[in-house]
Amino acid sequence: MTKTVTTTPYNDQKPGTSGLRKKVPVFQQKNYAENFIQSIFDSLDGFNGETLVIGGDGRYYNREVIQIAIKMAAANGFGRVLVGRGGILSTPAASNVIRKYKAFGGIVLSASHNPGGPTEDFGIKYNIGNGGPAPEKVTDAIYARTKTIDSYKIADVADINLDSEGSQDVEGMEVVVIDPVADYAELMEQLFDFGAIRRLLSSGFRIVFDAMSAVTGPYAKEILENRLGAAKGSVLNFIPLPDFGGHHPDPNLVHARALYEEMMGDNAPDFGAASDGDGDRNLIIGKGIFVTPSDSLAMLAANAQLAPGYSKGLAGIARSMPTSAAADRVAEKLGIGIYETPTGWKFFGNLMDAGLVTICGEESAGTGSNHVREKDGLWAVLLWLNILAVRQDSVQEIARQHWMIYGRNYYSRHDYEEVDSAAANGLVDALRAQLSTLPGKNFGALKVATADDFSYNDPVDKSVSNNQGIRILFEGGSRVVFRLSGTGTSGATLRVYIERYEPDSSRHDIDTQEALADLIAVADEIAGIKERTGRTEPSVIT
Ligand code: VG1
Ligand code: CO
């Protein structure tokens, strides 16, 4: 039986950079998840009888919301739901399933790199038929609907068994529980030379992959250990836990510190990597060298043709605005297009669909390609391994040679987390107000070339996105960028992105924070970070 339940709107269901993210107790309010899911369905047209993909990163409250979503999909007229066994699908795997089975769209339950547990974070994201995050016009429509919603539809049935694969009927809709790993692993085998990677791994080349007790555990175990023959035990923390073992499943130098220390140690393996809560981010560390994500994007793009899936070369590269310009230099050398988009993977979808770009990346440890429409952590790991296998160089050698050819873009991001929202907004407003006065001004040896608030004109659908981050560009290619996070769930997070271009290879060995010290000081001088936030230093430096 299907029932229609009366409800009242919540006023805080505005999707951010990547879906709706809130604390679990917020989601546990009466009808909170139901309102948002019905608002998604109400904003879509023509899904009657179509397929919907549902999966999540296994965090706390995943199973409850999956039950609700399936029952609501049935009541709203979907013909079929594909759901990962145990409710598990990594974000890139969900994107692949949507594409492969020509689904109408998908619902991904995740708060990604944010912590999980009864008082931590949960999230709901809608992906469209190309497998990618819904573009702004869809998320705007969903938000508008959340403000007026007065009822939702749900099948009044017992909970669905999510733990055995196979097909079942829910009020006339078919629910198919699928293996969450199989389709994804098969796709990776098509893109990469598994034989070459297997030979590398059997030659004594040691890897370590930290799944951070999050969703990539089962994927990495199957692909790296079972199919590629990495030594048993190479994949750490491989069981997805609802609270990620109490850690932030964020693969950066703070939350993946132990991996970093190991890779810098005397007996370091040759290659270290980690992924985040929902499997779309990657951290790459070679023996004795951390590869900053912006550099990783550039190095992967420069060498991608060594992997079978990219042997014909790249159509173009896209990067988010705060990501360093290292990839631009590669695009220039390859003679292909380079696109600069706002933060968030949803802006890459149109470019990939139109065939303008093959590889995309963000400074926040996100890299991916047109094999799906999400960033993809394990994909980046496998592309690195494929390149290492073919080149027979170390990560260290690949990085140094890259900098020698292209110059080095020293890069760092400073995050000030849980800052008072009014103070953070005040800081950005004040920056905006002084933009026109900055060009031509000198700060020590640094001279401002241009300063603006980034606007993006999508070349494919011609949509315009304003206020995407304050950029201050200095002569010579250095810059600082300021923006507020759209994924946090308490207070505001100020992100300050700092970059310096260094063509001189005798200066490629400087400690990053040292190489950026004058820019860091100027960022504070211009924005008044210390004064306005009351913070003397960032909470996270990546
Ligand atoms: C952050 C990152 C952004 C990324 C987004 C989602 O957004 O900066 O690059 O796309 O998270 O990643 P923000 O608005 O907090 O800066 V994930 O792995 O949460 O899906
Ligand atoms: Co993520």
pLDDT digits (tens, 9 = 90+) for 57-75: 999 999 999 999 999 999 9
Enter the tokens of residue 444: 């020590």
Q: Whose CA is nearest to atom 6 of ligand 1?
A: 18
Instruction: Kindly give the distance from the C-alpha atom of residue 18 to the centroid of ligand 1, in angstroms, as a whole number.
Output: 7
Q: How many residues does the chain have?
A: 542
- Collapsing DSSP states into helix, strand and coil, what is residue 77? coil
Q: Can you tell me whether residue 345 is helix, strand or coil?
A: helix
Strand partners, 106: 53, 127
Q: Render pLDDT for 413-431 as a digit per residue (tens, 0 to 9).
A: 999 999 999 999 999 999 9
Please report the beta strands in 207-321, taking only residues with DSSP state E, as ranges in sequence order: 207-210, 235-236, 271-274, 283-286, 289-291, 316-320
Please check whether residue 85 is in contact with residue 161, taking contact to mean a CB–CB distance below 8 angstroms: no
On the question of pLDDT at 315 being above 90, the answer is yes
- Closest residue to atom 17 of ligand 1, CA basis: 112
Identify the pLDDT of residue 489: 81
pLDDT of 491 above 90: no
Give me 446's structure tokens. Answer: 């640094």
Residue 455: count other Cβ atoms within 10 Å of its Cβ. 13
Complete DSSP assignment for 117-168: STTSEEEEEEE-TTSSBPPHHHHHHHHHHHTT--EEEEE--PPP--SS-EEE
pLDDT level of residue 522 (50, 70, 90 thresholds):
very high
Q: What is the pLDDT of residues 111-131, one digit of tens each?
A: 999 999 999 999 999 999 999
pLDDT at 515: 94
Residues facing residue 338 across a β-bridge: 317
Task: For residue 16, give both structure tokens.
Answer: 């951010």
- How far apart CA 210 and CA 198 sit, in angstroms, is 19
H or E element at residue 479: strand 479-484
Ligand 1 atom nearest 91 alpha carbon: 20
What percentage of residues in the chain have a pLDDT greater than 90?
Answer: 96
* Structure confidence by residue, pLDDT tens digits, 151-210: 999 999 999 999 999 999 999 999 999 999 999 999 999 999 999 999 999 999 999 999
Q: Which residues line ligand 1 (CB under 6 A)?
A: 17-18, 112-113, 276, 280-281, 320, 343-345, 362, 364, 366, 485-487, 495
What gap in Å lies between CA 189 and CA 309, rounded to an integer?
9
pLDDT over 90 at 486, yes or no: no
Using the mean position of ligand 1's atoms as its centre, give its distance from the Cα of residue 3 in Å. 37
- Indicate which atom in ligand 1 lies nearest the CA of residue 16: 14
Q: How confident is the model at residue 18 (pLDDT cuts 50, 70, 90)?
A: confident
CA distances for 218 relative to 88, 122, 251, angstroms:
10, 21, 17
Placement of tokens 């709203």 in the chain: 76
Is residue 278 predicted with pLDDT exceeding 90?
yes
Q: Which pLDDT belongs to residue 20?
A: 96
- Hey, is 435 helix, strand or coil? helix
Look at ligand 1, atom 2, and give the residue with the nearest C-alpha.
Answer: 364
Out of 112, 213, 364, 485, pick the active-site residue.
Answer: 112
Q: Which ligand is nearest to the CA of 294?
A: 1
Alpha-carbon Rg for the chain in angstroms:
23
For helices 32-42 and 136-146, the axis angle rounded to 10 degrees is: 130
Does the structure show a pLDDT above 90 at 526? Answer: yes
From 136, 248, 324, 364, mutation site for ligand 1 pocket: most ligand atoms within 8 A of C-beta: 364
The three-state secondary structure class of 5 is strand
pLDDT score recorded for residue 490: 80
What's the pLDDT score for residue 431? 95
272 to 236, 284, 360: CA distances (angstroms): 11, 6, 22
| Mean pLDDT over the full length of the chain | 96
Pairwise CA distance, residues 91 & 372, whole Å: 10
Mean pLDDT of 398-425: 96
The residue among 220, 196, 219 whose CA lies nearest residue 207 is: 220
pLDDT at 1 over 90: no
Summarize pLDDT for 2-12 with one digit per residue, the tens. Answer: 999 999 999 99
240 falls in which pLDDT band (50, 70, 90)? very high
| pLDDT tens track for 77-105 | 999 999 999 999 999 999 999 999 999 99
Average pLDDT over residues 230-244: 96
Which one, of 48, 540, 23, lies nearest residue 256 by Cα? Answer: 540
For residue 412, the Cα-to-chain-centroid distance in whole angstroms is 17
Q: In what order do the strands lie in the sheet with 173-178?
A: 20-23, 121-127, 105-109, 51-56, 80-88, 173-178, 166-170
CA separation for the pair 360, 345 (Å, rounded): 9
Rounded to an integer, the average pLDDT of 7-36 is 96
Q: Which ligand lies nearest to the CA atom of residue 320 in the structure? A: 1
For residue 365, give the ligand 1 atom closest to its CA: 9
Residue of the CA atom closest to atom 16 of ligand 1: 485
Nearest atom, ligand 1, residue 278 CA: 18
For residue 538, the CA-to-ligand 1 centroid distance in Å is 18
User: What pLDDT does 487 receive?
Assistant: 83
Complex ipTM value: 0.97
Residue 114 host element (H or E): none
pLDDT mean over 342-347:
95
Compute the distance from residue 204 Cα to the ligand 2 centre, in Å. 31
Res 39: pLDDT: 98
pLDDT value at residue 48? 97
Section 129-151 average pLDDT = 96
Whether the CB-CB separation of 1 and 155 falls below 8 Å is answered with yes
Strand partners, 415: 495, 540
Three-state DSSP string of 196-233: HHHHHHHCCCCEEEECCCCCHHHHHHHHHHHHCCCCCC
Q: Note if 421 is an active site residue.
A: no
Mean pLDDT value of segment 385-414: 97
Distance CA 285, CA 271 (A): 6
Domains by residue range for the chain, with CATH: 2-180 (3.40.120.10), 184-406 (3.40.120.10), 408-541 (3.30.310.50)
Instruction: Tell me the average pLDDT across 461-480.
Output: 94
Residue minimizing CA distance to atom 13 of ligand 1: 485
